[in-house]
Structure 1
Amino acid sequence: MALAQLGLFLALATPMFVGFAIKVQDVAPGHEVAALGLVSTAGAIAAFVANPVFGRISDRTTGRFGRRRPWLMAGVSGLALSLLVIALTNSLAVLVAAWFVGQASANAALAAHVATVAEQVPTFQRGRVAGLLGVVQNVAIMGAAYVGRFFNDHPLALFMVPAVVALALMLLFAVVLPDRPLPRRPVSDAEGGGGLRTLLQTFWVSPRQHPDFALVWASRFLIVLGSYLFTTFRLLYLQDQFGMSVTRATAVMATGVLVYTIALMVSAQIAGLLSDRLKRRKVFVFTAAMVFGIGLLLLVEADSVGMFYLAEVVCGLGYGIYMGVDLALVIDVLPRPDDAAKDLGVFNIANAAPQSVAPALGAALIGLSGSDSYTLLLTTAAVACALGALAIIPVKKAG
């Protein structure tokens, strides 16, 4: 499960955090920030729609290969083909369209993959498993930084090496996954009424009936928004703030992501273990969001590469604590076990929607403060994290 997560997120993170920042400088010279925002927004919209839709379809798949396995492989295959098109194109329009398809495909796989956590992992181990998945997700981001460092002059390798790794590791998971076929569709289908009503219910969980789910959703949205406001523009931040070339900036970013990931690995595993033992989730999420926000504020004052690395360590500690317990908290407050993938897909909108908002919002904030200043961007990101911490306080169903 962890290896599959590693492969999938390596293939997603390499374009998002490195590949597109390099690619747009070739396909849209002079308009890099706007082009990066356009590509990222298109992909995030695809993720927004695809994750709950494919989650519902996966919940109701009755074929002999199981509910999750077909979508794991179809999704990662579609992502790999999209990355091939991205590597070869010189057109911004094709780049946008290919990433839309790639994100839709990846989220078909992601919806099925996250559902296996709810189905395969017992409650008393969810904190540790969530921590492990959080670690490998960020190891994938670190790997993406190093892929960018070593292949920034080789577009085909930059996009296809992660794609091949994702295909291999997801295939391994699909082979060993004990994914029993579903003999018939869930009874909840009869309640949906079919047609437009069922489609709309795919994207909706009533906040009035399930307030804890809504609060956790809001907290995730705000914290992820704060994260993506920085990570989307991390490479351009280094180039603009420190006057670095692409080669130098990718090298510094790779080291920054390395120290970030080391800090995250330690804090995620400790937080997951403590969360399981103490049977508490909320206090860890609150602390994580506040620490991550402090790290973002340190980036505002960063005037050297060393200060940038220190801020990355603080951000890594905060986000590691968050990744160590967040998925366990989400599963604890799921409304309907039979609709695990669909409801997790709805929850994943809190991941996808900030990805669509962050590029456009970030570009606007950078424009307001000047193309060489990221103060307003980073301050807004820190405020979002603080609000995400406050949103978790009223949750009642989890400790």
Structure 2
Amino acid sequence: MSTTTPASSGGEPDIDETRYIDETPLTRAAGAAADERIIPVETAHAPAVRPQVGPLYVWMMVLATFGVYIAFVAPIAISLALKLQQVEPAHQEYLGYIIGIGAAVAVLSAPIVGILSDRTRLRMGRRRPYLLVGSVVGAIALVIMAAAPSTLVLGIGWAAAQLGWGSALTVLTIIQADKLPEEQRGKVAGLVGFVQMVAPVVGAGIASAFVADDFLMFLVPGAVGVVFTLLFVAVVKDADARTLPAPEGAIGAVLRKYLYSPRQHADFSWNWLARLLFNVGVTFNTTFSIYFITSRVGGTIQDFAPYVAINYTLLYLIAAAFTLVGGALVVWKVKSAR
């Protein structure tokens, strides 16, 4: 899971910030325009006014996020630990190295994917190609992990899974910044945050049901992710990007914008720190919990997989409830500030 800075590509609107408004079938579902086209705005210096998105867009975003999280959180919960026990039973500490390398790949690739999508000029848009390719790469990576004969191959597969599914999550985050008007961001963020808490529970439950078969243990959660991301790509249209002006600035200059002053952007910095601490805590809890339980109680990972799923259920349902409360508070703050 990665975070972006205020200057990241995720903060850009779907089309040029000052000259265009992107109309899609989803904005029409919310009562907007009657056909797909890009409409020039009369005043070049006026900020783009994003129309509210309809419920179809919101639920497609929620389902896509839900699917991606199921696909690549399930291995952290159970599948990776079980597979590592098969290929390297005497070195459980290798699990930390594998997950750490995968996380580094996700962190390094996220800004690159964002920058490349900003510069993409394809008929199917700027974002959808990366969402599609990311889910395919993630699915192939899960196959590699399921068939891995060694720790090295397992680590390579996990790094590829983080690259693929992490890129898909990055694009979904950017699309939210592209499309959502300010008054809808809190609500959608709350719903997306809620499914991010529920998805690990579902993913762990699916994986625990297939611990007897390596391929099903990895590929069934992956299939859920692929189906929901493909559904998003098919339903949520992205404007034809071939006629868009080229983005300004070299890639190196954009990357340098990731350096920022925490004092000048205090709200963002606190938000980033809170997310970092939360994810560190969740990772510590999920990565080695099944090893901890089996070492204290005795037995095998296969025996205790259902109990790990129950543990995740309690943990994430509590977190999900507070996520919904947080989203509601954001909506209240935005309305009260007007």
Common topology (TM > 0.5): yes
Query: Could you say which residue in structure 2 is the equivalent of 1:6?
Result: 66
Show the 5 A alignment for 1:149-228.
Answer: 149-182=208-241, 183-185=243-245, 187=247, 189-190=248-249, 194=250, 197-198=252-253, 200-201=255-256, 203-207=258-262, 209-228=264-283
Q: Matched residues in 2 for 1:280 and 1:246: separation?
A: 49
Q: Matched residues in 1 for 2:245 and 2:84: separation?
A: 44
Q: Matched residues in 1 for 2:204 and 2:335: separation?
A: 34
Check whether the contact 1:10–1:144 (CA below 8 A) recurs between aligned residues.
Answer: yes
Show the 5 A alignment for 1:231-242.
Answer: 231-242=286-297
**CA-to-aligned-CA distance 1:202-252 (integer Å, 9 cap, x gap):** 653444653433343233222322221222112122222333431332111
Q: Matched residues in 1 for 2:197 and 2:253: separation?
A: 35
Q: Which amino acid aligns with 2:271?
A: V
> Which residue, out of 251, 255, 266, partners 2:310?
255
Q: Does residue 147 of structure 1 match 2:174? A: no
Q: Give SS of 1:279's match.
A: helix
Q: Matched residues in 2 for 1:185 and 1:31: separation?
A: 53
Taking a change above 3 Å as real, the CA distance of residues 121 and 200 of structure 1, as seen in their structure-2 partners, is: closer
Q: Matched residues in 2 for 1:202 and 1:54: separation?
A: 15
Q: Which amino acid aligns with 1:152?
A: V
Moved more, 115-124 or 84-93: 115-124
Taking a change above 3 Å as real, the CA distance of residues 64 and 159 of structure 1, as seen in their structure-2 partners, is: same
Q: Which amino acid aligns with 1:269?
A: L
Taking a change above 3 Å as real, the CA distance of residues 107 and 262 of structure 1, as seen in their structure-2 partners, is: closer
Query: Could you say which residue in structure 2 is the equivalent of 1:291?
Result: none
Query: Could you say which residue in structure 1 is the equivalent of 2:173?
Result: 114
User: Of Structure 1 and Structure 2, which has the larger fraction of its residues in helix?
Assistant: 1
Give the alignment's TM-score, normalised by structure 2. Answer: 0.75
Percentage of matched positions with identical amino acids: 31
Give the alignment's TM-score, normalised by structure 1. Answer: 0.64
**CA-to-aligned-CA distance 1:310-352 (integer Å, 9 cap, x gap):** xxxxxxxxxxxxxxxxxxxxxxxxxxxxxxxxxxxxxxxxxxx
Check whether the contact 2:207–2:221 (CA below 8 A) recurs between aligned residues.
Answer: no
> Which residue, out of 250, 271, 275, partners 2:326?
271
Q: Give SS of 2:90's match.
A: coil
Check whether the contact 1:52–1:202 (CA below 8 A) recurs between aligned residues.
Answer: no
Query: Could you say which residue in structure 2 is the equivalent of 1:79?
Result: 138
Structure 1 unmatched ranges of 5 or more: 282-397
Taking a change above 3 Å as real, the CA distance of residues 202 and 50 of structure 1, as seen in their structure-2 partners, is: farther
Q: Which amino acid aligns with 2:89?
A: P
Query: Could you say which residue in structure 1 is the equivalent of 2:192?
Result: 133
Q: Which amino acid aligns with 2:115?
A: R
Q: Matched residues in 1 for 2:278 and 2:321: separation?
A: 20
> Which residue, out of 40, 50, 75, partners 1:15?
75
Shift of 1:63: 0.9
Q: Matched residues in 1 for 2:331 and 2:254: separation?
A: 36
Aligned residue pair count? 277
> Which residue, out of 161, 169, 194, partners 1:102?
161
Q: Give SS of 2:101's match.
A: helix
Query: Could you say which residue in structure 1 is the equivalent of 2:120?
Result: 61
Q: Give SS of 1:90's match.
A: coil
Shift of 1:9: 0.7
Structure 2 unmatched ranges of 5 or more: 1-60
Q: Matched residues in 2 for 1:158 and 1:83: separation?
A: 10
Moved more, 106-115 or 149-158: 106-115
Taking a change above 3 Å as real, the CA distance of residues 278 and 247 of structure 1, as seen in their structure-2 partners, is: same
Taking a change above 3 Å as real, the CA distance of residues 217 and 248 of structure 1, as seen in their structure-2 partners, is: same
Shift of 1:123: 1.8
**CA-to-aligned-CA distance 1:29-86 (integer Å, 9 cap, x gap):** 1111x21012101211110111111011112212111111000000000000010011
> Which residue, out of 80, 90, 99, partners 1:30?
90
Q: Matched residues in 1 for 2:79 and 2:138: separation?
A: 15
Query: Could you say which residue in structure 1 is the equivalent of 2:39?
Result: none
Q: Matched residues in 2 for 1:39 and 1:129: separation?
A: 33
Q: Matched residues in 2 for 1:227 and 1:102: separation?
A: 19
Check whether the contact 1:238–1:244 (CA below 8 A) recurs between aligned residues.
Answer: no
Show the 5 A alignment for 1:45-60.
Answer: 45-60=104-119
Check whether the contact 2:197–2:317 (CA below 8 A) recurs between aligned residues.
Answer: no
Shift of 1:199: 6.5
Taking a change above 3 Å as real, the CA distance of residues 202 and 71 of structure 1, as seen in their structure-2 partners, is: farther
Q: Does residue 243 of structure 1 match 2:298? A: yes
Check whether the contact 2:69–2:200 (CA below 8 A) recurs between aligned residues.
Answer: yes
Query: Could you say which residue in structure 1 is the equivalent of 2:152?
Result: 93
